[in-house]
Chains A and B, each alone.
Chain A
Amino acid sequence: MNEFFNMGGYAVYVWTAYGITAFLLMGLVFGTVLVLKNSEKKLKALEALSPRRRQRQKSSGGEDEKP
């Protein structure tokens, strides 16, 4: 087991490379999901303030969005 973590003496390089990769990719995934959840919450709050829109969305199944 120790031999595995030692990486033939190159432990610092190998594990740093893998660690930075894991850190950046997990940051990308969780950051994206977090921002999406926050934005969806904000959108819900805005939609609740705008009854006209909400009605139109109900009648057409929310398929009338256009940026």
Chain B
Amino acid sequence: MNLSTAPKGNFWHRLANPARFERLARWLTPWFLLGFLGFVSTGLYFGLYASPIDYQQKDTVRIMYVHVPAAWLAMMTYSTLAISGFVFLVWRHPLAEVAGLAAAPIGAVFTALALVTGAIWGQPTWGTWWVWDARLTSVLILFFLFIGYIALRNAFDDPSRAAKSTAILAIVGAVNLPIIKFSVEWWNTLHQPASVSRFDAPAIDPAMLRPLLLMACAYLCLFFFVLIFRMRLELVRRRITALQYAQAGVSDR
């Protein structure tokens, strides 16, 4: 379930209440943890052991199972930022803003992972850690977008004013997503084109696709697991600020 979609109908209105959200969050947490443990154990088994080596890359192909899902999740997390920014600006759903703030550090970690594991994979296969290839560069920009989003949020004392600016940044920055996706086709430099998400059948053997998808599911479960904790954290932080204002004799309304 994605908490950042539009506040349609009763469910989304009810979820705007922090106490109800907290209850749902606590109920969901163990399921995502369980899902993560299941997917990651099978994913690692197939990824590191029960899958064939690549005829050219040999065992380095196994880096794919931690690298590609990180890149997928980095882009998905940025979509979460952009969608929650949009939902916040249009419907003013309080949880949308919270979801965006909660997701940004997770996205930064996934993007950093994609970049670092990509460099480690690039050295033995391409013979270089880094090139200013279009895909690599656009993912580096994605990383800076996450960092910029967090920095912009922290630049404001007043969370309500920060929310508008960060929402706009998230939406404008979303232009980078199609650039990342199609960079490998528009500028044919070093990074290989897509093997899985293409219009025809995936150009990857099922024996390698299996661990890849398992690890992607594991990352996805971990994303939601951490997202829930960070949303709760954001709500707690707000209550702390409100109480501090109240105790200082300043109205928090």
Contacts and interface: CB of A to CB of B under 8 A. Distances in A.
Contact of B120 (A16, A35, A53, A65): A16
Given A8-B53, A20-B117, A47 B243 contact: yes
Contacts of A49: 247
Interface residues of A, number: 36
Interface in B197-248: 222, 225-226, 229-230, 232-233, 235-244, 246-247
Given A67-B94, A67-B238, A46 B120 contact: no
A49 B239 CA distance: 14
Contact of A65 (B58, B67, B230, B242): B242
7 nearest CB pairs, A to B: A67-B238, A8-B59, A7-B59, A21-B66, A46-B243, A17-B63, A36-B233
B60 interface: yes
Interface of A: 4, 7-10, 13-14, 16-18, 20-21, 24-25, 27-29, 32-33, 35-36, 39-40, 42-43, 46-47, 49-50, 53, 61-63, 65-67
A5 to B, nearest CB: 10
Interface string B85-122: 00000000010000000000110010011001100110
A16 B94 CA distance: 41
B123 interface: yes
B237 A39 contact: yes
Contacts of A47: 243
Contacts of B20: 63
Contacts, number: 110
Chain B at the A interface: mostly helix, strand, loop or mixed?
helix
Contacts of B112: 24
A21 B243 contact: no
A4 B49 contact: yes
Given A13-B124, A28-B105, A40 B66 contact: no
A67 B252 CA distance: 8
Contacts of B241: 67
B20, B48, B58, B229 pick with most chain A CB within 10 angstroms: B229
A29 B33 CA distance: 11
Contact of B17 (A18, A27, A36, A63): A63
A46 B67 CA distance: 43
A35 B238 CA distance: 14
B230 A53 contact: no
